[in-house]
Structure 1
Amino acid sequence: MSRKQTITKAFSAAAGTYESAARAQVWAADSLVERLGPIPTPIRALELGCGTGLLTRRLAAALPAGSRILATDLSPAMVQAASAALPALSFAVMDAEAPGVAGPFDLIASSLAAQWFTDLPATLGRLAGLLAPGGRLLLTTLGAGTFVQWKDAHRTLGLDSGIPDYPEAADLAAMLPGARVERLPLTLSYKDARNFLLCLEALGAQTPKPGHRPLSPGQVRRIITSLGSPCAMTWDILLLDYRP
């Protein structure tokens, strides 16, 4: 099974539990919609990685009446869940890295999905090419400071963390010349590190970085113990705003 298939399977399995654990995802979606500003006339919008529709619902409420939204996700189960809750909108199963849609779009939006892309710079370039004149690409993703507490606990114990290598804000901006990137770090409290891991599983976000060797149960217990209770975890959210 490829990494992309593994990610898709994990998110599909989490379609029924995703929103129960989506505190950071709600924060990111709200932050993105706050950056939209006034939009005077109806637009055509494409959403990538819609999941259960957290951002989709907010876009539908924020955009002018008559706007057309196509919300997409790699996971068929996520698309089914979102479309059942929002039957008036258009949905499709689609890989954001190979967008099989015809532009142009006035807005392309995505919230906490881009961190799963295999080739983020190339994908950003392709998405920019789907924008209409005066269009806008607005997305949130995870930055290098994400789960720093988890990574530090591994480092202290001489272990390798499975957290993927996320970009610094400046590196993300450099992937799409002309883009502005803002850091919006959010630190959440969990009952303990075990609860944090269960929340990741409920989100479908438990797939480790490529090539990571799983830790033994004993090593995981040592990390959980070292982080104590309650346990703080930082989501280093980056917001990219691009207008060609």
Structure 2
Amino acid sequence: MSRKKTITSAFSAAAATYESAAHAQISAADALVDRLGRLSSPLKVLELGCGTGLLTRRLDAALPAGSHILATDLSPVMIQAAQARLPHISFAVMDAEAPDVSGPFDLIASSLAAQWFTDLPGTLGRLTGLLAPEGRLLLTTLGAGTFIQWKQAHGELGLDSGVPEYPEAATLAAMLPGAQVESRPVTLSYKDARNFLLSLEALGAQTPKPGHRPLSPGQVRRIIAALGSPCAMTWDILLLDYRR
């Protein structure tokens, strides 16, 4: 199974539990809508990786009357979950890295989906081509400081973590000249590291970086013990804002 299919299957399986564990995701969606600011004219909006509709619901409430949202996701199961809450919104199953839509869009928005892209720089370039004159791309993704505690615990035990290689804010900004990027880290407290892992499974976000060899049960127990209880874990949320 390809990595993209593995990721899609994991999120599809988590559609019913996603929002119970989506604390960082809520913070990211709120930050994106806050950055959007006050608007006066209706917008044509494309959302990528809508999941269960956390950001979609916030955009629907914040946008001026007459705006139109097309919310998309790779997972048909996630689309069904989002559409059940927002029957008046347009939804479609779509790969954000190969957008099959007709622009232009006044706003392209995505919250905590871009970290799963295979080719983030190329995708950002393709998305800007779908923007209307003076259109805007707003997205949140994960940065290099994400799960730093988990990575440090692995390093101290001489182990390699499965956390993907996320970019620094400056690196992300360099992928799209003219973009502004800021880091808005959120540190959450979990009962212990086992509870943290269970929360990732509830989100469908447990797919490790490509080529990662799973740890043995004994190694996992050592890491859980090293992180203690309670266990703090940082989500390094990067907010990218680009105006055409």
Q: TM-score, normalised by structure 1?
A: 1.00
> What does 1:184-199 correspond to in 2, within 5 Å?
184-199=184-199
Q: Secondary structure at the match of 1:35?
A: helix
State the partner residue of 2:136: 136
State the partner residue of 2:40: 40
Is structure 2 residue 218 aligned with structure 1 residue 210? no
State the partner residue of 2:91: 91
* Aligned residue type for 1:85: R
- Structure 1 gap ranges (5+): none
Instruction: Give 1:107 deviation, angstroms.
Output: 0.2
Q: State the superposition RMSD in angstroms.
A: 0.3
- In structure 1, distance between residues paired with 2:40 and 2:236: 32
State the partner residue of 1:100: 100
Q: Secondary structure at the match of 2:136?
A: strand
State the partner residue of 1:68: 68
- In structure 1, distance between residues paired with 2:74 and 2:175: 23
Percent of counterpart pairs with the same letter? 82
Instruction: Give 1:37 deviation, angstroms.
Output: 1.1
Instruction: Give 1:219 deviation, angstroms.
Output: 0.3
Deviations 1:76-121 (A, max 9, x none): 1000100111000000000000000010000000000000000000
- In structure 2, distance between residues paired with 1:234 and 1:136: 28
- In structure 1, distance between residues paired with 2:71 and 2:223: 38
* Aligned residue type for 2:102: A
State the partner residue of 2:237: 237
Aligned residues: 244
**Which runs of at least 4 in structure 1 moved beyond 3 Å after TM superposition?**
none
Q: Secondary structure at the match of 1:66?
A: coil
Instruction: Give 1:38 deviation, angstroms.
Output: 1.6
Deviations 1:128-175 (A, max 9, x none): 000000100000000000000000000000000000000000000000
* Aligned residue type for 1:25: Q
- In structure 1, distance between residues paired with 2:79 and 2:13: 12
